[in-house]
Amino acid sequence: MRIVIASPVPQDVADRARIEFDAVLSQEQELDSEALVAALRSSAARGVLVSSRQKLDAATIAAFPETVKIIATCSVGFDHIDRKAARARGIIVTNTPDVLTDATADLAMMLLLCAARRAKEYAAVMDAGWRRRFALNEMLGVQPSGKNLGIIGMGRIGRAVASRARGFGMHILYHNRHRLPDDEAIGARYLDTIEEMLPQCAFVSLHVPSAGSPVMTRERLHLLPRGAILINTARGDLIDEEALLAALASGQIGAAGLDVFRGEPAFDLRFGDFPNVFLTPHMGSATVETRNAMGWRALDNLARFKEGGHPPDALDY
């Protein structure tokens, strides 16, 4: 069974793909839709491996040759794939859950700490040469310890963030579709609604899938105590960005740490104008260990299909 890998992957993943699947690799750059379809047609591939940065819309999937029977995405999310179009073609779609948890939770805590402790401003001072001392009342950040962190979405990543935040002496509140059993919540306090939770939070971190409409609306941003800090490593469409920009400008939101945006990679450059907004370019899974694990898990799904079995991470239509 031959596959096309449409995005550059770590070398260990590429080596395995060549051996197991006689893979057609694109190690120099990601294939756009036209190039991907051409590669699938010329290779008679039965499977394709893509990243979350590659959009497989209905038109692209409709153009796939009949040989293609499985799409393996190296991501937890799959909103970049038109699953209705895949189902219409009888194409299986798989993702890579679980393996991103620790790396994404680590990044969420990095963003929280960098936003709270004014890391962007400190870095600018050092880059400029730091030639004057600061008084005791200058460049003061916010200490996370003793503060309430509200987590919206207590899945694997949300719980991993909660575990890390406890190490910094934070108190954890959470809202989830369902209340967790006590042994899974590990001391975090459940709130029935987001509206009930937000006024009690000095920090909020988002860990839910795309919802179709913003979770953090203007109204919810204004439920937070003035100066609260917002963290997002989940999906860009969870935040009303215009409302967040206004809340940052007014001081309602004291700082933010953002890894995801609505217009990726062409995100709203106005966020960069704020010294109290720490930004990263959707890099939650960007560790050697995690990217290898993602690639291997995607190949595991392809291998199961190749052997005639049902891939363990196949998505339900």
Query: 305 — phi, psi (to 5°)?
Result: -65, -45
Nearest to 204 by CA among 213, 215, 286, 35: 215
Active-site residue identified among 46, 235, 291, 297: 235
Neighbouring CB atoms inside 10 A of 225's CB total 13
Helix (H) or strand (E) holding 151: strand 148-152
User: Can you tell me the distance from the alpha carbon of 45 to that of 237, in angstroms, rounded to the nearest whole number?
Assistant: 34
Active-site residue identified among 16, 30, 264, 304: 264
User: Can you tell me the distance from the alpha carbon of 64 to that of 90, in angstroms, rounded to the nearest whole number?
Assistant: 12
Active-site residue identified among 117, 164, 282, 297: 282
Neighbouring CB atoms inside 10 A of 136's CB total 5
Residue 264 is among the residues annotated as catalytic for this protein: yes
User: Can you tell me the distance from the alpha carbon of 248 to that of 268, in angstroms, rounded to the nearest whole number?
Assistant: 14
Residue 83 is among the residues annotated as catalytic for this protein: no
Which three-class secondary structure state does DSSP give residue 175? strand
Residue 175 is among the residues annotated as catalytic for this protein: no
User: Can you tell me the distance from the alpha carbon of 31 to that of 179, in angstroms, rounded to the nearest whole number?
Assistant: 42
Catalytic residues: 235, 264, 282
